[in-house]
Every structure is written in C-alpha cells, then in structure tokens.
Amino acid sequence: MHSKLPNGVPGLVEAAEKTVVKFGIWIEPEMVNPKSELFERHPEWAITLPNCEPYYYRNQLILDLSNPTVQEYAFGVVDKLMTENPGIAYFKWDCNSPITNIYSPYLKNRQNQLYIDYVRGVYNVFRKVNEKYPHVPMMLCSGGGARCDYEALKYFTEFWCSDNTDPIDRLYIQWGFSQFFPIKLMGAHVTSWNKDTSIKFRVDVAMMCKFGFDISIREMDKDEQTFCKSAVANYHRLKKNNPGRRLLPPGISLWFQPYCCYACRERER
C-alpha cells in the first residue's frame, strides 16, 4: 500500500484540491482480503464455514456484520478516513459479493439469524455514518443496483441503479427504476459505453437523473468539452425542486426508436 500510495489518502486529497477538484472515494468496508493484516488478526470476524476450505468470491470474504464489534470496525474505517481527511467530499459505498461460506462465528447456534442480523448490522453502520457526517453526499452501490431499498434511502443521497451505462439500455433501466424511486436518487453518468451514440445523447440520458461523468476528458474534442460544460451548468439550473414527470416510456414511437420523455413541473424550467 505504501509503495502504491506513498503519501496515502491525504496525498490524493491534497492533489485534488490543488486542481480545484473535490475528492471522492470509493470504499467497500464490508469485505476482507484473506491475505490482509485484518484477517490475520481477526479471522473470526469473517463469515466462514468451520472445517471447510473457504470459497473466495473476487478473492474476498465478507465481514460478519451481525457482530457488533465488526460493525464498530466498519464504522471506524469511514470515521478514520473522514477524521484524517476532512477534505473528502463524497463517498461511494460498494458491496460486490454475495454472502458466501455462510456461517457466523459470532452467532454460533443462532445461524438462522445470520441474514437478518447482517442486514440490521449494515443499516446500523449506515445510520452511524449518516449521523456523524450528514452533509457528505454518499452513493450506495452493490454490483449495480442490488441494494436499492427504502431503508437504505434514509442514509444515502443516491443509488447506483446499474453498472450498465449504455445510454440506450439506461433509458429502460431509468424508466423502470423511476416507478419506485425519485429520479433525483438515480446516479446516471456519461461514460465511454456505446461510442456509436453521440456525447449529446449520452448527456441527455444521464441528465434525466443525478448527473455525472465517468469518462476521460481526453476522449472528447474541444466542442464536446464545451458542450459538457454547458450541460453541467444547465443541470445545476434545472435540478432544484424538480421531481420530474414521465410522459412516454422508452420505445413508444412511430419509428420504434429507443427514447424516453420526462418533463419538469415548473414551466419556466
């Protein structure tokens, strides 16, 4: 870790601030690497079947968040980052593994409670982070949209509803998602997926929701960069108090083209 980041996270935050960019960080506090110091010190903190060869999904194990001590550790990961780096302006909380090796050393003879107590433990960590850092925007992701639910909505400012960022597919994803959650909760980013579509089309699709970019500026020419700057300005102008109104679902047209229509409540917007 030191060889990769000799100045640690503080060095990254400082470098971002020098370029007048707010620093965000992508974290996965529920996971543990079997070759890590944490696992060496606390193998009992991981969900693992006794007397069995463990199965590593993505070279990871799941920390046992049914255990209150492990909950405190997970909260401490976030708290330490924020305490040491108050310049952090954004979190993306990810969880990319299902629960494998299903056995909790903490629960012992109450294994039927594992899924219930794990989820309650995760929510408890979410709550503590939100209470201490209520003004830090946080996205919840889990292999895409596997954790979009109303309880988690209390603690996060947005959901990542799918890892599929193809703008054509996103029309359908975002339309369906909007049946259950407000569009302002859907993280939607302009990416390099489907370069057969124009930057304008990708921007238009992403601007329907919580607008962002996951694309290298070097991939865009000067005209596209200028357009994206104006799009960001327009988004900030339009986003306030805009719940959106669905007009036509994707694909309902004379030409069977994939498109979608939303409208703002305020006519002047």
CB contact at 8 A, 129 and 155? yes
Count of residues making up the chain: 269
Q: How many CA atoms lie within 13 A of 127 on its CB side?
A: 8
Judge contact between 228 and 203, C-beta under 8 A.
yes
Residue 221 annotated among the catalytic residues of the structure: no
Q: Residue 193 and residue 165: Cα distance in Å, rounded? A: 6
Contact 88, 25 (CB under 8 A): yes
Catalytic residue among 94, 117, 149, 223: 94
Angle at 6 between CA 82 and CA 83, to 5 degrees: 10
Catalytic site residue from 64, 79, 117, 163: 163
Residue 106: CB atoms within 10 Å: 18
Tracing tokens 């620093």 back to the chain, one arrives at: 23
User: Can 223 be counted among the known catalytic residues?
Assistant: no
Q: Chain-centre distance of CA 129, in angstroms?
A: 15
Cα dihedral 81, 60, 30, 216 sign = positive
Catalytic amino acids?
94, 163
